[in-house]
Amino acid sequence: EAQVTQNPRYLITVTGKKLTVTCSQNMNHEYMSWYRQDPGLGLRQIYYSMNVEVTDKGDVPEGYKVSRKEKRNFPLILESPSPNQTSLYFCASSLGRGRDTEAFFGQGTRLTVV
Amino acid sequence: DQQVKQNSPSLSVQEGRISILNCDYTNSMFDYFLWYKKYPAEGPTFLISISSIKDKNEDGRFTVFLNKSAKHLSLHIVPSQPGDSAVYFCAAGFVDSWGKLQFGAGTQVVVTP
C-alpha cells in the first residue's frame, strides 16, 4: 500500500530537549516536505526536499532542521524545541514535476512542547 | 504574508444541496491549484486539481473553477453528502517546482441531514 508514515503520532516534550520526527514514504517519490498546521493559518511549509541531499527552506524554517540521506526518509529535527513549536506536523511526498501530480500526506504528529 | 486565502472558516450545508468553497490567491505566477480534504486525526488527502491553462475541471460530484483574472478559484460539491463533512484546504503551486505548495487556512464544511 502506497503511504507516508510518520512517527511518533503524539509527542510531549520539554523545552530544549532535542527531538526527531521521522517520515518515510514507499512510493519512490522525489519530493518530500514538512508542514505545520496551526489554527487560522492552515498548512505552512517548513522545509522541502527535491531529491537526496537537496533541501530548501519553506516559509517557516526557523528552529527546524531536515536531512535527506535516502530517498525514502525525510526526518524533521528540532534541536532545541520551544513552546511556539507546539503544533500539528505533516510530512508529504510527491512525484514532482508535471501536471496531475498530487502530494500524499502522512497522518500527522501532534507535538506539545512544555 | 499568506498568498492563498480562504476567507470562510466554516460552511454549513444541507444534505443534497450544493457546497461552494472559495479561495483567492495573490501570486499570479501560480500555475497549478489543488484542493485537499482533511478529516480529524488524519492527514490531508488529495481531492481535485486544475492547471492554469483550464478554467474548469470536474471529477464526479466535485468541480473546480478557476478565474485567473480575478485570482479566484472555487470548489463545488454537488450533491453534498454527510461524508463530505471535513476541512477543505485550497493549495497553489508551480508545475515545474513541486516543492513549494502554498495552502490556505481551510474551510470547515458541515453537511447536515
Task: Give tens-digit pLDDT for A12-67.
Answer: 999 999 999 999 999 999 899 999 999 888 899 999 998 999 999 999 999 999 99
Q: What pLDDT is stored for residue B4 in this prediction?
A: 95
- Choose among A43, A106, A108: nearest Cβ to B103: A43
Task: Give the Cα separation of B93 and B29 in Å (integer).
Answer: 9
Share of chain A above pLDDT 70, in %: 95
Confidence of residue A100 (pLDDT cuts 50, 70, 90): low
Task: Give tens-digit pLDDT for A36-50.
Answer: 999 888 899 999 998
Asked if B48 reaches chain A (Cβ–Cβ under 8 Å), the answer is no
> Sheet of A19-25: strands edge to edge?
A4-7, A19-25, A76-78, A65-66
Asked if B33 reaches chain A (Cβ–Cβ under 8 Å), the answer is no
Q: What pLDDT is stored for residue A108 in this prediction?
A: 96
Helices (H), strands (E): how many in chain A? 0, 11
A99 contact residues in B (CB cutoff 8 A): 32, 49, 51, 95
Identify the closest residue of chain A to B97 by CA–CA distance: A97
Q: What share of chain B is helix, strand, coil (3-state, %, to 5)?
A: 5, 60, 40
Please say if the pLDDT value at position A96 is more than 80: no
Enumerate residue ranges in chain B where pLDDT < 70.
Answer: 98-99
Q: What pLDDT is stored for residue A95 in this prediction?
A: 79
Nearest to A14 by CA among A75, A110, A80: A80
Confidence of residue A98 (pLDDT cuts 50, 70, 90): low
